Chains A and B, each alone.
Chain A
Amino acid sequence: GENVEQHPSTLSVQEGDSAVIKCTYSDSASNYFPWYKQELGKRPQLIIDIRSNVGEKKDQRIAVTLNKTAKHFSLHITETQPEDSAVYFCAASKDGNKLVFGAGTILRVKS
């Protein structure tokens, strides 16, 4: 079955710097890749997603890139702010079936 690996497990950046979180997946048939953000004590929330027919998607300060050949995708956050501090999860899905998640990345933005 699908396996998703996520790196790094923790990431500390200075406010204003960029943050990059990377994920690799094993099943080349996976075609949907969402990113969830979970703030402390709150529910995971979808922040951006990408489907395999595009290579990049942006939404304000966040972007996701997908490399189907290498089977990896990345989350990019620019101009980080303290409110970006959270746990970020990547996931993969084939045809909208179950999500297979990575282990999460704790992002700390230091002000």
Chain B
Amino acid sequence: EAGVTQFPSHSVIEKGQTVTLRCDPISGHDNLYWYRRVMGKEIKFLLHFVKESKQDESGMPNNRFLAERTGGTYSTLKVQPAELEDSGVYFCASSPPGQGAYEQFFGPGTRLTVL
């Protein structure tokens, strides 16, 4: 069974540019989460999808971040325009229906560097 995949693995962009991160959850996992880890700090929750619906987006830092999950399969996280403080590692995680945060499976992360 394939795990959670994320693309790209690394992205280096300049301040003001746009970046789109993609996450493919494990097949059949309704729950999809986005998290971010800024250098040396905790992994912070951004938002939670159940299928295509946003269940909780309380962690989204501001309106420069837009997450979508059309069709309830893969998800994208767009940052537009990117700022220096957006640098960090963005993780996606998924879990089976009804499991929520229990036994989440993480992707390898996308390391975003904003110059």
Seen from chain A, the residues whose Cβ lies within 8 Å of a Cβ on chain B are 4, 6, 32, 34, 36, 42-46, 49, 89, 91, 93, 95-104
For B91, give the chain A residue with the smallest CB separation.
A44
- Interface contact tally, CB-CB below 8 A: 64
24 contacts between A and B (CB under 8 A): A32-B101, A43-B3, A43-B91, A43-B108, A46-B104, A46-B105, A49-B102, A49-B103, A93-B100, A93-B101, A93-B102, A96-B100, A96-B102, A97-B48, A98-B33, A99-B35, A99-B45, A99-B101, A101-B42, A101-B44, A102-B42, A103-B40, A104-B40, A104-B43
**B17 vs chain A, min Cβ distance (A):** 26
Beyond contacts A36-B106, A43-B107, A104-B42: 8 other A-B pairs, Cβ-Cβ < 8 A, are A34-B104, A43-B3, A46-B105, A96-B100, A98-B48, A98-B56, A101-B35, A102-B42
Inside 8 A of A46's CB, which chain B residues have their CB?
Answer: 103-105
List B residues at the A interface (Cβ < 8 Å). Answer: 3-4, 33, 35, 40-45, 48, 56, 58-59, 91, 99-109
Kindly list chain A residues whose C-beta atoms are within 8 Å of the C-beta of B4: 43
On chain A, the residues within 8 Å of B41 by CB distance are: 103
B108 to chain A: which residues have CB within 8 Å?
42-43
Contact partners of B103 in chain A: CB under 8 A:
34, 46, 49
Q: Determine chain B's interface SS by DSSP, over half rule.
A: loop
Across the interface, A96 reaches (CB within 8 A) one of B40, B91, B99, namely B99
Q: Which residue of A lies closest to B4 (CB)?
A: A43
Answer whether A101 and B109 are a contact pair too, CB < 8 Å, given A44-B91, A46-B104, A93-B101: no
Chain B residues, CB < 8 A from A100:
45
